[in-house]
Amino acid sequence: MTTARDLITLALFDAGIFGSGQTPGATDINNGLIRLNDMISQWQRNRWLIWCDKDVAMPMTGAVSYTIGTGQYFNTPRPDRLENGCFIRQITPSVPNQPDWPLTLIQSREAYSNIRLKRLGSFPQYVFYDAAFPYGNIYPWPLPSNLYELHLLLKEQLQTFANLSTVYAMPEEYKRAIRFNLQSEFLSAYRLPPDPDLEKRAAAALNVIRNANAQIPVLYLPPDLYRPGLYNVFTDQSV
């Protein structure tokens, strides 16, 4: 089983910081763990580096807002944003007849502030996320009652390594990306010159992940932009 120590040691050797027969010191390994987790924390914010989105749901109570973060009402690591695809579910009547309605994301605090009746209780249509720290705040609008359950679409969490013995538990393609990109981190940290071939391999490894994770939704136009069918003289049909 591959551990954090294995990844860090291999990256140190591949970067040429240590050679065959040498053993990295405890300081080098421990600093490598910090750099490894820092790098993965940056990757966490890029949707194309996340292999899937997850659905996090909680029943509504009619409140104006709900906290989100570890140990909060939505008990999940604090996200940087909501992904398109959030929806509200009517939980009365009971399973399986529970219809879902998509919600429109309000993208900014300024746009949410323009809502005049923020405490209006009715059928929800929008959701705004205030990415406060250490806990975020979810604002559905209009305010849904306990007849509804709010489903948030969030990026799945990438693995971080609590200690050097933590076992690697991500898809296999991430291992090569971590290895080469961590080498680049080490070259910079040890004030060594950049390696163009290494940079190419690091970028290529990330591109493999990006291509594997790419999900492109179907583009829909607002109804107001649709035009009636136009006659095509070449096909003798309306399109």
Each residue's pLDDT tens digit, 21-39 = 888 999 999 999 999 999 9
Task: Tell me whether residue 228 is in a domain.
Answer: no
Give the list of residues 6+ apart from residue 233 with CB closer than 8 angstroms, or none: none
Give the DSSP H or E segment for 55.
Answer: strand 53-59
Per cent of the chain over pLDDT 70 is 95
Task: Tell me whether residue 238 is in a domain.
Answer: no
Q: Are residues 174 and 200 in the same domain?
A: yes
pLDDT category of residue 229 using cuts at 50, 70 and 90: low
Structure confidence at residue 239 (pLDDT): 60
Hey, which residues does 75 pair with through a beta bridge? 69
Cα separation, 22 vs 15, whole angstroms:
14
Q: Tell me the residue range of the domain where 83 lies.
A: 53-155
Cα separation, 132 vs 217, whole angstroms:
29
The model carries a pTM of 0.84
Q: Are residues 118 and 30 in the same domain?
A: no
From 128, 155, 182, the end of a domain falls on 155
Cα separation, 160 vs 77, whole angstroms:
12
pLDDT, one tens digit per residue, over 118-177 is 999 999 999 999 999 999 999 999 999 999 999 999 999 999 999 999 999 999 999 999
Hey, which residues does 100 pair with through a beta bridge? 89
DSSP state of 49: G
Task: Tell me whether residue 196 is in a domain.
Answer: yes
pLDDT, one tens digit per residue, over 8-23 is 999 999 999 998 888 8
Q: Are residues 37 and 101 in the same domain?
A: no
Task: Tell me whether residue 8 is in a domain.
Answer: yes
pLDDT category of residue 227 using cuts at 50, 70 and 90: low
Task: Tell me whether residue 85 is in a domain.
Answer: yes
The size of the chain, in residues, is 239
Q: Are residues 109 and 62 in the same domain?
A: yes
Cα separation, 144 vs 90, whole angstroms:
10
Q: Which residue has the higher pLDDT, 196 or 218?
A: 196
Task: Tell me whether residue 224 is in a domain.
Answer: no
Phi, psi of 169 (to 5 degrees): -145, 60
When divided into structural domains, the chain yields a total of 2
Q: What is the mean pLDDT of the chain?
A: 92
Q: Which residue has the higher pLDDT, 219 or 230?
A: 219
Give the list of residues 6+ apart from residue 34 with CB closer than 8 angstroms, or none: none
Q: Of the given ranges (37-46, 87-96, 104-113), which has the lowest mean pLDDT?
A: 87-96
Task: Tell me whether residue 130 is in a domain.
Answer: yes
